[in-house]
């Protein structure tokens, strides 16, 4: 039984390392994200005009006043005062 357990642990360790390395290699050799390219050519003798589309700018981050809507924040009501009188046994 110990031999089976040892063999299983070695098999899991080796297959994990091999899987990690194969994934690393596939990720390293994968294509990079391509930009959207629109090529226009005027004729066979003129070079093509390549336009790379740029992403639209992000909108500005709203401030806290914009999120609240400009409303005044109400303070919490005051806690009632509790008076405790010590007792002596």
- Asked, for residue 61, whether it belongs to a domain, the answer is no
Q: Which of the 8 DSSP states describes residue 46?
A: S
- Asked, for residue 18, whether it belongs to a domain, the answer is yes
- Asked, for residue 22, whether it belongs to a domain, the answer is yes
6-57 pLDDT tens trace = 999 999 999 999 999 999 999 988 877 655 555 555 555 655 566 666 777 8
- Asked, for residue 71, whether it belongs to a domain, the answer is no
* pTM listed for this prediction: 0.37
Q: How many angstroms separate the CA atoms of 64 and 67, rounded? A: 5
- Asked, for residue 89, whether it belongs to a domain, the answer is no
Given a contact cutoff of 8 angstroms between Cβ atoms, the answer to whether 35 and 53 are in contact is yes
Paired residues of 39 in beta bridges: 50
- Asked, for residue 1, whether it belongs to a domain, the answer is yes
Provide the residue range defining the domain that includes 19: 1-30
Q: What is the CA radius of gyration of the chain?
A: 34
Closest CA to 55 of 72, 39, 33: 33
- Asked, for residue 70, whether it belongs to a domain, the answer is no
| CA atoms within 13 A of residue 41's CA, in its CB half-sphere | 6
- Asked, for residue 8, whether it belongs to a domain, the answer is yes
Tally the domains of the chain: 1
């Amino acid at each position: 039984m110990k031999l089976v357990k040892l063999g299983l642990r070695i098999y899991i360790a080796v297959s994990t390392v091999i899987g990690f390395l194969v994934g690393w290699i596939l990720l390293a050799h994968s294509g990079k994200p391509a930009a959207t390219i629109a090529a226009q050519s005027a004729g066979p003798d003129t070079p093509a005009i390549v336009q790379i589309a740029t992403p639209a700018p992000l909108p500005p981050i709203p401030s806290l006043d914009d999120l609240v809507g400009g409303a005044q924040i109400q303070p919490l009501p005051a806690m009632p005062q509790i008076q405790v009188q010590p007792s002596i046994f």
